[in-house]
Amino acid sequence: MLSSLLCVAPATIALPAHAQIRTGQAAAVEASSAEPLSSVPTLAQPTEGNSRFQWSSTAPLILPKPDAAHQLVAVKDPSVVYANGKFHVFMTTAGPQGWGLAYTSFRTWREAQGARLTFLDRSGIGPGYRAAPQVFYFAPQKRWYMIFQGGDPLYSTTSNIDDPLSWSAPKPIFATVPDVVKGDDGRPVWLDFWVICDDSRCHLFNTGDNGRLYRSETSLHDFPRGFGNMQVVLNDTRDRLFEASMTYKVAGAGAYVTMVEAIGPKGRYFRSWTSDRLDGSWTPLADSLADPFAGSGNVDYPGGRWTLDISHGELIRAGNDQSLTIDPCNPLRFLHQGVDPRADASDYLNLPYRLGLLTAARQNPISAMCRTKRDTNPRTNAQR
């Protein structure tokens, strides 16, 4: 998403932190010109042959739906939970007026395109710069939490996920900015905040568009207060460890998996690592351009390729609580953002991002962690 340095007058923001956005898009734009993506072999066909993960993509399922008060051109950064018989999707909106948050819900993915958007500036969250939501049910308090960025990390809560206008006014997670995320000028460089809890502690991960993944922690009892001990847990070059980290518990495997978005020559992609504990060291899983977790080279588009980017999103979880558990015994699904590579990449705020759904198309290093009889149909639940 955007760095906290950009949280001023959203409609007129300059975007220095994303001046390199065209790193993964410019070549594609120049190569494709006005041709449809499907007619450009170098873009339409996967280019990497060593990927252990393989995916199949839908067309865009969640689209921007402006109204009289919201001039948006993009929906981005989805967080999705399944509760009360519905998928609940929270997302960033972007357009000439700046950044905000929206919500939609539906019972099956076939209904997603027709589902209406509710803009969360009408809730207690209010207007202003809000972006990159993450939503989960915090079982110890019997409350839903939304973690998001408004410059610094913020949270809001509700007891009723079905009422998008019930979210509370935002509160800060940190009383002061940790020194480790301050840049050379003393200003904070942190974004895309992600909380996951184990049996005793809650851990907050974040990136900074600077090649670093950070982690801080608090006790399960004190959450959402008391976060501290922030440290760098992964360190690489800027483009190889960029933003939008997500971390999950793998059910029955005694393992966690984390993914971080990177910038490649053919668009955004995700690298991945595993660990046996959230405060442990991270071992590469599928962490290269040739063998990514998900990227332009290992995704098939049966209906026609609509993007080269596998960017900021969320896996569909097996539950909805603070453990953020995924089930390796069923095909992974990944709701993500993508954009037509021919779009004008000079104005990041107005890039026309859409949300599409990936489904794992074969066994992979995460499905290999399944300890029970697995479902052998890779498309099971793809349209649930």
Residue spans per domain, the chain: 4-369
Nearest CA among 342, 364, 339, 366 for reference residue 354: 339
**Strand 55-57 relative to strand 354-360: parallel, antiparallel, unpaired?**
antiparallel
* Distance of alpha carbon 161 from alpha carbon 148, whole angstroms: 16
User: Residue 10: helix, strand or coil by DSSP?
Assistant: helix
Give the torsion sign (CA, 222, 223, 227, 232): positive
The tens digit of pLDDT for each residue in 198-211 reads: 999 999 999 999 99
Q: What is this structure's pTM? A: 0.87
The tens digit of pLDDT for each residue in 53-91 reads: 999 999 999 999 999 999 999 999 999 999 999 999 999
The yes/no answer on whether domain 4-369 falls in CATH 2.115.10.20 is yes
pLDDT grade for 19, boundaries at 50, 70 and 90? very low
Peptide bond into 46 cis (omega under 30): no
Top-confidence residue, 65 or 380: 65
pLDDT grade for 346, boundaries at 50, 70 and 90? confident
Q: Which range, of 76-85, 283-292, 374-383, averages the lowest pLDDT? A: 374-383
Give the torsion sign (CA, 149, 151, 155, 156): negative
pLDDT of residue 31: 31
